[in-house]
């Protein structure tokens, strides 16, 4: 299948262009360097990750240190580094809280997305690969989860059991499983019908190796794209739960909680809600941009797009202009 | 080139010996990560009505890109940087996209190799076959549909009226290729480019498809450019051949003469590597070594690295495609030596 | 999705197009035909005299059943608007005033019997005349029926009570034990006609009030129409319409925009001079400390907690100054309020010393205390909890916050308390709307009180004694109870006497009183520039 | 198709039962409603009486059995909070949510197809980058934040729109729809763009161009329909999210929809209403999934018929 190297009809790189035989593909950071948007996105994400990991060491207890006399100070240079982004109603440094919140936010969103990604994808690919009763079982399971009010689970877990980050992650993860399940199912159903899987199956290989070796690599880019979108969704849901009072519990702080609590001060102290909102936005936009880029960069059939000189990116895909 | 010997079945505005397609000095540049490289380098050839030119070469030699440049369907990384493509007396490269679209179908048409992906999977085939009539003839939905059914019958699809409602995945590979060909010849174009139309098919079906192409060519007096890597197909089907190597045409001429006495070491290498009779369906046999990367094409002869005859001159001076006999040309400093070898 | 035929029938593209068209038209139909929106009734025309008074509440009343009127969200609409009690209590002075009863008297010889003179010439909104029989019926329905009325539990507890009409204008009420404050209790009973169901609660009641229910569009609005046959002074507005928005900022925006004339309970950050007025709402906030669990079982720790709270700081920053630091569970104006108590000063050093002292005696002061507060209990409750948590942590206590919803909060508030909850500091807000500390003491101070975690026999004794007396002696007795609780029990670390913020459009004139949050008297609202005297007959 | 529908509907019954079961049990885990509905000082007898009257004194399996018996007779019980029939309350609230969801999704899908196609037509062009950024930003704005800012700007400062409510002309729809729209729009633009880029680089698009098809015909006649499948799936999921309760929008704008009803009944432990609401939304969601599947089949013949080997 892969021996037909002539790409005349596909969207593959034109002959010999991007990947001449034996040539190393351009290193990823060189590709990244060529795409300023992806480079900026990677920088932002890297910085956030760094802040989330190291920030708490630098800020000490400033995220929770209250000073009722310093309530609602607007962002200014007058009150030192930690007064740079103003204070909240309890006189806590918004900057310190943003730093502290980065860790909490990521430690909710990342595990939640990963859990639902892994469980949902595995179930979905398994279901799509086998079809039949197993497929409809998995799909109805997805339907059931989707139609189950996740708010109820949240209320029960948070009010009846201990409200903890772990429980929050579990709720968010379970609620998002169907999305991956359905996506993975769709991909693997389509792939199942392709010859190479059939061939592999007739040799008596067990199903998981086939799924792992043949289906996963092809379904993964789509699943990862969904996961990035979901990353944003999870952060926003966490915020909505805080809006309804059942999210992260103070004095822990997350961006979502900051937005939810700060919404009351939109008119009087915009910085409390807007800054964490911007942080959520920056992270999700960066994640999406980077995911789109990774998808291009890891797809041999699409990678050539990244190698285009900037000025030609926008030219229409048909009828080349004549320059001769 | 010898004039067509086929009987003319219909009146023609243009003189019979006027070339239907004339490509001159066509250059295509690729913009890659490593920089801009030339993928098609001053390629030129001529095809007359009713005749078939085979564009022969290994994968990656630029033959498909040449075809796509001619029909104006290059990917955005590729850019035509020079030359002319004259069809029906006009250089299509200088036309506006709109005017060019008007020629696509009635004048210039192309058949792609993988019919499964080349047919729209979510449209019934009848609708896809009817599309040229809707676009260029402005026929009503119903009339175009009738035309499509006729067309399906003419390429040998059984029960065309029922099958028109089916979708591409419900046809076998050979049938799909027939549909694709039918779509390409729907408006009886002057020039048909067939880009490896049989690669994805098994041997018996390949023969049927080639027969179909020949019948259609005879019927409509098509000028056919057959892009292939299959020597046997060239030998049986083409009148003329243009051998491509690393973006350059290295030898052209009537098939019989070129195959009998190649005047370029690459052509010769190709033929030599086929034991006695070239077998149909076989991949292009290996000439020792591999073609140069496009980014590292030497200054002199493009074939020097693999050429048994390579000498000092080949390193510094690139041979031009020069006449080596009646209707034949080769791009080798030592083509005379080959003639006597 | 597999079919057996070799060439299966396939839908023509026309069919797909038709289904798209169907989808679009269904959507349009759905949006245009259904009844939620686009059903404006033009009643929004403004608030001129005789126009519509527009009130925005925080939530839709679950019901308008009068015997549920002690529920704030029901009472604010029903009380004194749709229905009226026999006696009303002046929210400011605490004085009892005649309403549907013109006079009342406790029998000299039998202190368990009270007689009430019933006002004549009053008719219900359904045209029926109001008589003593209706009053007797209402009391019986509220207290003795199987309806499980809120007012029954809230005001009467398990009192025995019989009501009897001796004539059309005279009502006799008999209690099991002598009850000096029966008239006050009866001020919570909203009178309904005899024809009201005793089997089920009614959603849209009939009463004698200045307004009658005109229309209740579930989820959208409640419209009241002026009762033209009202026995008292006619209110200024011919109609009143209630809507509800959960977000304070939206309620404030509606006032600012002129979409509403009155908005219930604004948060401080949404309130401006132009759109709101503050009013004391009788609510007091405090931390209830569970004296049965270490380390809270040590009075030094409880006192330390009181010392650790920066009441002035919290009042100034979190409540925007719209509250007063509290020294007791009842606000001024309630019988039993002790003028001599002053709020514990903020003294973290002293508090820390107390904690250290307790720790030295082996009290496990580092045991984790759970600070439980309820979402939207009062504005900025989460911030208040965080401030308390921080201040308690500053004196060396280990406190975590748990925000709950009402149902979960109630489990901690009411006996029986959840087991294994550990030491709990519950943030409570107590509103004594009856104006008598007896209601507070029986709930919050008795050792076995439904909302009390512990107490002392001595305190119980004093409460019982105070409850039996009336007049000035009652005031002194309850004042003494409150002091005693502070000195020997210290179950509560008081926070503040709260004030509410009522959104008020400049186009209307209304003066909120301490009861406004529970009982918004529409008849007292008038267009601006036409101030109506409050009818305090 | 009928066989397919029948199987789908039949196979939905069991998960539906699980949903009902789950909600029933979880709701009871969430706490006893007795305290909420009885006065603070209610006596033990009153509590017992209340519990008995509503069946809370029985074991959960017994309660469930009774409940299922009622549901079969389409009796969903009575709201503890309002005393109304739970079924009636839910049916009154549902249209408001459905209207919001339907209008939002129609606008979101159409707008996303337009913007996404334009972006995909020239991948990585300025237009593409701008619209993708717009979409991503839209998708990452917290909805309650957007709603409140919208109220403050358009309701109070500019006075263009009413702040909230459902009484009035078409203008009352603007802010709630806009709030609901941002996320589905943002997500769908990215999905449309992604699948359109793939579709536009497919060989059949080249073939269409080789037939002289106009760019409009290429984009909307050939590529779009091929790109619909993922869009349809995602749009279905997003619609489910909306049907399951536009809680935030309903709360802020005072829309009497099912989301608000559901959260209220959760907070008020109003089991009958909660169960009826979940049952109704679950049925709707199952139906919606079936509709999406049928739409898939209508759009793509390969879903209907097995691929020929």
Q: Would residue A3 count as lying in a domain?
A: no
Q: Would residue A14 count as lying in a domain?
A: no
Same domain membership, residue C224 and residue C344? no
Say what the pLDDT of residue A308 is. Answer: 52
C7 vs B: CB within 8 A = yes
Compute the distance between CA of residue C535 and CA of residue C512 in angstroms, rounded to an integer.
14
Q: Which residue has the higher pLDDT, D135 or D3?
A: D135
Same domain membership, residue C415 and residue C316? yes
**Mean pLDDT for chain D overall:** 83
Kindly indicate the confidence band of residue C35, based on its pLDDT and cuts at 50, 70 and 90: very low
Q: Would residue A317 count as lying in a domain?
A: no
Q: Is the pLDDT of residue C11 over 50?
A: no
CATH number for position C403: 3.10.105.10
Say what the pLDDT of residue C484 is. Answer: 92
Query: CB distance A186–D16 less than 8 Å?
Result: no
Classify residue A161 as exposed, middle or buried by CB count within 10 Å of its CB (0-12, 13-18, 19+): exposed
In the listed set C160, C191, C222, which residue is the last one of a domain according to the structure?
A: C191
Q: Which residue has the higher pLDDT, B133 or D47?
A: B133
Say what the pLDDT of residue C16 is. Answer: 45
Q: Would residue A174 count as lying in a domain?
A: yes
Three-state DSSP state, D31: coil
CB contacts of A263 in chain D (<8 Å) are 144-145, 148
Q: Would residue D13 count as lying in a domain?
A: no
Instruction: Name the residue among B47, B42, B48, B99 with its Cα closest to residue B69.
Output: B42
Could you tell me the residue range of the domain that residue D215 belongs to? Answer: 86-308
Q: Would residue C310 count as lying in a domain?
A: yes
Say what the pLDDT of residue A12 is. Answer: 36
Q: Is the pLDDT of residue C424 over 90?
A: yes
Q: Would residue A9 count as lying in a domain?
A: no
Same domain membership, residue C99 and residue C61? no
CATH number for position C180: 3.90.76.10
Say what the pLDDT of residue C2 is. Answer: 36
Same domain membership, residue C415 and residue C494? yes
Q: Is the pLDDT of residue C26 over 70?
A: no
pLDDT tens-place string over residues B178-199: 888 888 888 888 888 888 887 7
CB contacts of B165 in chain C (<8 Å) are 7, 10
Q: Which of C269, C375, C401 sits opposite A251 (nearest CB)?
A: C401
Query: CB distance B124–C10 less than 8 Å?
Result: yes
Is the peptide bond between C416 and the residue preceding it cis, with omega within 30 degrees of 0? yes
ipTM: 0.79
Q: Is the pLDDT of residue C219 over 80?
A: yes
pLDDT tens-place string over residues A145-157: 888 877 777 777 7
Q: Is the pLDDT of residue B235 over 90?
A: no
CB contacts of B127 in chain C (<8 Å) are 13
Q: Which of C30, C34, C407 sits opposite D31 (nearest CB)?
A: C407
Query: CB distance B170–C7 less than 8 Å?
Result: yes
Query: CB distance B114–A26 less than 8 Å?
Result: no
What is the arithmetic mean of pLDDT over C425-450?
88
Q: What percent of chain D has pLDDT over 70?
A: 95
Across A54-63, B111-120, C82-91, D300-309, which has the greatest mean pLDDT?
A: C82-91
Q: Is the pLDDT of residue A320 over 70?
A: no
Q: What is the DSSP letter of C85?
A: B
Instruction: Name the residue among C181, C188, C189 with its Cα closest to residue C475.
Output: C181
CB contacts of D35 in chain C (<8 Å) are 407, 410-411, 414
For chain D, where are the alpha helices, taking DSSP H only? Answer: 2-29, 34-37, 44-53, 60-72, 86-121, 126-139, 143-150, 171-200, 203-210, 215-216, 224-243, 247-253, 258-267, 271-299, 301-304
D120 vs B: CB within 8 A = no
Q: Which two tokens stand for residue A297?
A: 């960069």
Q: Would residue D96 count as lying in a domain?
A: yes
Say what the pLDDT of residue C359 is. Answer: 94
Instruction: Name the residue among B137, B328, A9 with its Cα closest to residue B336.
Output: B328
Q: Would residue C7 count as lying in a domain?
A: no
Q: Is the pLDDT of residue D169 over 60?
A: yes
Q: Would residue D124 count as lying in a domain?
A: yes
**Mean pLDDT for chain C overall:** 85
Tell me if A88 sits within 8 A of A72, measured CB to CB. yes
Same domain membership, residue C215 and residue C185? no
Query: CB distance A20–B117 less than 8 Å?
Result: no
CB contacts of C380 in chain A (<8 Å) are 89, 264
Residue keyed to tokens 């089949």: D297
Provide the 10 A C-beta neighbour count for residue B43: 25
Return residues 493-532 of C near D (CB < 8 Å).
Answer: none
What is the arithmetic mean of pLDDT over A82-92?
86
Tell me if C115 sits within 8 A of C172, measured CB to CB. yes
Query: CB distance A90–C386 less than 8 Å?
Result: yes
Kindly indicate the confidence band of residue D39, based on its pLDDT and cuts at 50, 70 and 90: low
Kindly indicate the confidence band of residue C42, based on its pLDDT and cuts at 50, 70 and 90: very low
Q: What percent of chain D has pLDDT over 90?
A: 9
Residue C301 Cα distances to A23, A246, C293, C350, C413, angstroms: 75, 30, 11, 11, 21
Tell me if C207 sits within 8 A of C84, measured CB to CB. yes
> In the complex, which subunits touch A with 3 or more CB pairs below 8 angstroms?
B, C, D
Q: Which residue has the higher pLDDT, B83 or D37?
A: B83
Q: Would residue A321 count as lying in a domain?
A: no
Per the structure, how many domains does chain D have? 1
Q: Which two tokens stand for residue A63?
A: 């995220």
Q: Is the pLDDT of residue D191 over 80?
A: yes
Same domain membership, residue C379 and residue C451? yes
Same domain membership, residue C133 and residue C263? no
Could you tell me the residue range of the domain that residue A274 belongs to? Answer: 28-312
Kindly indicate the confidence band of residue A206, based on its pLDDT and cuts at 50, 70 and 90: low
Q: What percent of chain A has pLDDT over 70?
A: 76
Say what the pLDDT of residue A175 is. Answer: 87
Tell me if B30 sits within 8 A of B297, measured CB to CB. no
Q: Would residue D63 count as lying in a domain?
A: no
User: In angstroms, how far is CA C40 from the centroid of its own chain?
Assistant: 31
pLDDT tens-place string over residues D207-246: 888 888 888 888 888 888 888 888 888 898 889 888 876 7
Q: Would residue C443 count as lying in a domain?
A: yes
pLDDT tens-place string over residues C475-524: 999 999 999 999 999 999 999 999 989 999 998 999 898 888 888 899 99
Return residues 171-210 of D near A (CB < 8 Å).
Answer: 183, 187, 190, 194, 200-203, 206, 209
Same domain membership, residue C304 and residue C222? no
Q: Which of A308, A317, A324 sits opposite B81 (nearest CB)?
A: A324
Q: Is the pLDDT of residue A253 over 80?
A: yes
pLDDT tens-place string over residues A261-292: 888 888 888 898 889 989 988 998 888 888 87
Same domain membership, residue C116 and residue C76? no
Per the structure, how many domains does chain A have? 1
pLDDT tens-place string over residues A109-128: 999 999 999 999 999 988 88
Residue keyed to tokens 């961006």: A255
Residue D241 Cα distances to A124, A233, D98, D135, angstroms: 20, 11, 12, 18
Kindly indicate the confidence band of residue C160, based on its pLDDT and cuts at 50, 70 and 90: confident
CB contacts of D285 in chain A (<8 Å) are 143, 146-147
Angle between helices D258-267 and D271-299 (to 10 degrees): 140
Q: Would residue D43 count as lying in a domain?
A: no
CA angle C89, C134, C61 (to 5 degrees): 60
pTM: 0.82
Phi, psi (rounded to 5 degrees) for C118 = -95, 135
Query: CB distance D15–A160 less than 8 Å?
Result: no
Q: Is the pLDDT of residue A171 over 60?
A: yes
User: In angstroms, how far is CA C162 from the centroid of its own chain?
Assistant: 27
Q: Smallest CA–CA separation between C26 and chain D, in Å? A: 9
Optimal mutation site among B122, B165, B175, interface C, most CBs of chain C within 10 A = B165
Compute the distance between CA of residue B311 and CA of residue B304 in angstroms, rounded to an integer.
8
CATH number for position A75: 1.10.3720.10
Q: Is the pLDDT of residue A7 over 50?
A: no
Per the structure, how many domains does chain C have? 3
| Least confident span in B232-236, C48-52, D78-82, D122-126 | C48-52
Say what the pLDDT of residue D27 is. Answer: 80
Q: Is the pLDDT of residue A81 over 50?
A: yes
pLDDT tens-place string over residues C133-159: 999 999 999 888 877 777 777 777 777
Q: Would residue C289 count as lying in a domain?
A: yes
End-to-end CA distance of chain D: 23
pLDDT tens-place string over residues D70-93: 888 888 888 888 888 889 999 988
Kindly indicate the confidence band of residue D111, based on its pLDDT and cuts at 50, 70 and 90: very high
Provide the 10 A C-beta neighbour count for residue B35: 10
Instruction: Name the residue among C171, C193, C8 with its Cα closest to residue C83.
Output: C193
Q: Would residue D56 count as lying in a domain?
A: no
Kindly indicate the confidence band of residue B211, based on its pLDDT and cuts at 50, 70 and 90: confident
**Strands C96-98 and C101-106: what pairing?**
unpaired
Query: CB distance A146–D278 less than 8 Å?
Result: no
Tell me if C62 sits within 8 A of C73, measured CB to CB. yes
Could you tell me the residue range of the domain that residue C333 belongs to? Answer: 282-498
Optimal mutation site among A167, A250, A259, interface C, most CBs of chain C within 10 A = A250
Say what the pLDDT of residue B15 is. Answer: 47
Return residues 93-152 of C near D (CB < 8 Å).
Answer: 146, 148, 150-152
| Least confident span in C355-369, C421-435, D21-35 | D21-35
Same domain membership, residue C170 and residue C120? yes
Residue B148 Cα distances to B143, B162, B168, B174, angstroms: 9, 12, 15, 18
What is the arithmetic mean of pLDDT over A319-323?
33
Say what the pLDDT of residue D304 is. Answer: 63
Q: Is the pLDDT of residue D255 over 60?
A: yes
Q: What is the DSSP letter of A225?
A: H
Q: Would residue C175 count as lying in a domain?
A: yes
Q: Which two tokens stand for residue D296?
A: 């898939």
Query: CB distance B293–A20 less than 8 Å?
Result: yes
Q: Which two tokens stand for residue D208?
A: 């269409």
Q: Is the pLDDT of residue C294 over 70?
A: yes
CATH number for position D107: 1.10.3720.10
What is the arithmetic mean of pLDDT over D106-114?
93
């Amino acid at each position: 299948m892969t021996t037909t190297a002539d790409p005349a009809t596909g969207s593959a790189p034109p002959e010999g262009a991007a990947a001449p035989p034996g040539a190393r593909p351009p290193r990823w950071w060189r590709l990244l360097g060529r795409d300023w948007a992806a480079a900026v996105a990677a920088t932002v994400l890297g910085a956030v990750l760094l802040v989330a990991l190291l920030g708490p060491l630098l800020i000490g207890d400033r995220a929770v240190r209250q000073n009722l006399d310093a309530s609602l100070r607007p962002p200014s240079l007058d009150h030192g580094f930690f007064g740079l982004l103003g204070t909240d109603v309890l006189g806590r440094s918004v900057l310190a809280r943003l730093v502290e919140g980065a860790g909490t936010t990521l430690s909710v969103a990342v595990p939640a997305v990963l859990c639902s990604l892994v469980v949902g994808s595995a179930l979905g690919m398994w279901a799509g690969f086998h079809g039949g009763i197993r497929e409809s079982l998995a799909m109805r399971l997805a339907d059931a989860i989707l139609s189950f009010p996740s708010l109820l689970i949240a209320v029960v877990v948070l009010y009846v059991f201990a409200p903890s980050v772990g429980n929050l992650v579990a709720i968010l993860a379970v609620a998002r499983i169907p999305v991956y399940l359905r996506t993975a199912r769709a991909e693997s159903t389509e792939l199942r019908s392709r010859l190479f899987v059939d061939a592999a199956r007739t040799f008596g290989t067990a199903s998981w190796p086939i799924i792992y070796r043949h289906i996963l690599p092809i379904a993964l880019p789509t699943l990862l794209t969904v996961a990035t979108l979901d990353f944003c969704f999870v952060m926003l849901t966490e915020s909505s739960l805080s809006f309804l009072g059942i999210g992260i519990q103070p004095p822990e702080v997350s961006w979502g909680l900051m937005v939810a609590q700060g919404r009351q001060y939109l008119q009087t102290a915009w910085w409390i809600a807007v800054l964490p909102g911007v942080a959520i936005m920056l992270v999700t936009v960066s994640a999406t941009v980077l995911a789109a880029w990774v998808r291009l960069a890891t797809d041999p059939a699409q990678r050539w797009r990244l190698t285009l000189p900037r000025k030609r990116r926008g030219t229409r895909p048909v009828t080349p202009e004549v320059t001769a | 080139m010898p004039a067509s010997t086929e009987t003319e079945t219909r009146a023609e505005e243009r003189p019979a010996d006027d070339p239907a397609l004339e490509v001159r000095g066509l250059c295509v540049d690729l913009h890659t990560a490593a920089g801009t490289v030339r993928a098609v380098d001053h390629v030129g050839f001529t095809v007359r009505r009713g005749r078939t030119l085979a564009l022969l070469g290994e994968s990656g030699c630029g033959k498909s890109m040449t075809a796509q440049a001619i029909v104006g369907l290059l990917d955005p990384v590729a850019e035509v940087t020079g030359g002319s493509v004259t069809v029906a007396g006009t250089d299509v490269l200088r036309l506006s996209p709109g005017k060019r679209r008007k020629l696509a179908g009635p004048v210039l048409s192309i058949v792609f190799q993988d019919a499964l992906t080349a047919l729209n999977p979510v449209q019934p085939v009848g609708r896809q076959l009817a599309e040229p009539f809707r676009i260029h003839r402005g026929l009503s939905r119903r009339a175009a549909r009738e035309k499509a059914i006729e067309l399906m019958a003419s390429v040998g699809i059984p029960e065309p009226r029922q099958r028109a409602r089916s979708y591409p995945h419900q046809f076998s590979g050979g049938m799909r290729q027939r549909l694709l060909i039918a779509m390409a010849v729907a408006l009886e174009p002057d020039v048909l480019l067939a880009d490896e139309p049989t690669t994805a098919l098994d041997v018996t079906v390949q023969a049927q498809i080639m027969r179909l192409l020949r019948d259609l060519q005879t019927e409509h007096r098509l000028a056919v450019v057959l892009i292939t890597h299959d020597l046997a197909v060239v030998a049986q089907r083409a009148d003329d051949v243009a051998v491509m190597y690393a973006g350059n045409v290295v030898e052209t001429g009537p098939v019989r003469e070129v195959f009998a006495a190649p005047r370029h070491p690459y052509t010769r290498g190709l033929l030599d590597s086929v034991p006695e009779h070239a077998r149909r369906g076989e991949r292009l046999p290996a000439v020792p070594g591999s073609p140069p990367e496009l980014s590292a094409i030497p200054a002199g002869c493009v074939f020097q690295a693999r050429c048994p005859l390579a000498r000092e001159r080949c390193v510094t001076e690139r041979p031009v495609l020069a006449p080596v006999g009646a209707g034949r040309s080769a791009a080798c400093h030592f083509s005379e030596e080959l003639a006597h070898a | 999705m597999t079919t057996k035929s070799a060439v299966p029938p396939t839908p023509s593209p026309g069919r797909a197009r038709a289904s798209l068209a169907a989808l679009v038209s269904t959507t349009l139909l759905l949006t245009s035909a259904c009844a939620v929106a686009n059903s404006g009734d033009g009643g929004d025309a403004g608030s001129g005299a005789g126009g519509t008074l527009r009130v925005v509440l925080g939530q839709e009343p679950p019901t308008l059943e009068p015997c549920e009127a002690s529920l704030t969200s029901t009472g604010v609409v029903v009380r004194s608007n749709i229905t009226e009690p026999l006696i009303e209590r002046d929210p400011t002075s605490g004085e009892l005033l005649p309403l549907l009863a013109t006079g009342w008297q406790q029998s000299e010889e039998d202190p368990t019997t009270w007689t009430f003179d019933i006002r004549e010439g009053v008719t219900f909104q359904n045209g029926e005349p109001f008589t003593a029989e209706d009053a007797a019926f209402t009391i019986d329905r509220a207290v003795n029926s199987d309806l499980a009325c809120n007012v029954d539990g809230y005001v009467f507890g398990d009192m025995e009570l019989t009501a009897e009409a001796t004539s059309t204008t005279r009502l006799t009420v008999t209690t099991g034990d002598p009850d000096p404050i029966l008239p006050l209790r009866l001020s919570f009973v909203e009178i309904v006609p005899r024809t009201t169901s005793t089997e089920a609660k009614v959603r849209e009641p009939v009463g004698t009030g200045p307004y009658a229910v005109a229309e209740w569009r579930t989820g959208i609005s409640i419209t009241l129409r002026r009762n033209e046959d009202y026995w008292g002074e006619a209110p200024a507005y011919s109609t009143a319409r209630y809507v509800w928005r959960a977000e304070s900022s939206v309620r404030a925006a509606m006032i600012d925009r002129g979409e509403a004339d009155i908005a219930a309970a604004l948060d401080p950050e949404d309130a401006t001079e132009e759109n709101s007025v503050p009013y004391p709402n009788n609510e007091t906030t405090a931390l209830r400390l569970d004296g049965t669990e270490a380390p809270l079982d040590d009075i030094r720790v409880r006192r330390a907690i009181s010392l650790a709270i920066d009441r002035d700081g919290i009042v100034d920053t979190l409540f925007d100054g719209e509250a007063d630091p509290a020294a007791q569970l009842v606000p001024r104006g309630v019988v039993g309020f002790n003028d001599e108590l002053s709020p514990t000063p903020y003294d973290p050093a002293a508090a820390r010393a107390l904690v250290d002292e307790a720790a030295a005696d082996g009290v496990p002061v580092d045991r984790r205390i759970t600070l439980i507060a309820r979402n939207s209990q009062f504005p900025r409750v989460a911030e208040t909890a965080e401030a308390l948590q921080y201040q308690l942590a500053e004196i060396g206590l280990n406190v975590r916050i748990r925000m709950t919803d009402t149902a979960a909060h109630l489990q901690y508030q009411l006996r029986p308390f959840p087991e294994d909850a550990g030491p709990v500091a519950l943030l409570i807000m107590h509103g004594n709307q009856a104006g008598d500390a007896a209601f507070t003491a029986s709930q919050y101070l008795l050792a076995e009180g439904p909302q009390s975690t512990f107490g002392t026999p001595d305190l119980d004794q004093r409460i019982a004694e105070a409850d039996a007396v009336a007049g000035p002696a009652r005031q002194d007795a309850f004042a003494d109870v409150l002091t005693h609780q502070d000195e020997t029990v210290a179950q509560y670390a008081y926070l503040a006497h709260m004030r509410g913020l009522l959104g008020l459009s400049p186009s209307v004139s209304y003066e909120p009183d301490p009861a406004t949050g529970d009982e918004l008297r529409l008849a007292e609202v008038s267009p601006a520039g036409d101030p109506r005297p409050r009818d305090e007959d | 198709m009928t066989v397919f529908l029948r199987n789908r509907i039949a196979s939905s019954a069991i998960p539906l039962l699980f949903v009902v079961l789950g909600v029933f049990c979880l709701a009871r885990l969430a706490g006893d409603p007795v305290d909420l509905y009885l006065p603070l000082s209610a006596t033990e007898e009153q509590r017992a009486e209340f519990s008995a009257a509503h069946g809370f004194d029985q074991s959960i399996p017994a309660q469930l059995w009774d409940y299922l018996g009622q549901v079969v007779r389409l009796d969903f019980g009575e709201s503890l909070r309002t005393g109304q029939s739970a079924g009636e309350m839910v049916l009154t609230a549902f249209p408001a949510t459905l209207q919001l969801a339907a209008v939002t999704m129609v606008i979101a899908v159409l707008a996303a197809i337009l913007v996404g196609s334009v972006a995909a037509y020239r991948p990585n062009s300025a237009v593409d980058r701008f619209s993708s950024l717009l979409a991503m930003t839209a998708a990452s704005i917290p909805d309650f934040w957007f709603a409140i800012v919208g109220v403050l700007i358009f309701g109070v400062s500019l006075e263009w729109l009413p702040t909230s409510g459902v009484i009035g002309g078409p203008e009352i729809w603007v802010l709630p729809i806009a709030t609901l729209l941002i996320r589905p729009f943002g997500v769908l633009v990215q999905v449309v763009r992604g699948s359109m880029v793939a579709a536009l680089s497919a060989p059949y698009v080249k073939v269409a161009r080789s037939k002289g098809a106009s760019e409009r015909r290429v984009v909307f006649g050939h590529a779009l329909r091929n790109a619909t499948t993922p869009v349809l799936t995602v749009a279905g999921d997003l619609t489910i999210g909306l049907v399951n309760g536009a809680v935030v929008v309903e709360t802020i704008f005072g829309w009497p929809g099912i989301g608000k009803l559901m959260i209220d009944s959760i907070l008020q432990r109003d089991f009958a209403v909660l169960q009826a609401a979940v049952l109704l939304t679950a049925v709707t969601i199952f139906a919606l999934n079936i509709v999406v599947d049928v739409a898939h089949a209508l759009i793509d013949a390969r879903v209907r018929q097995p691929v020929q080997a």
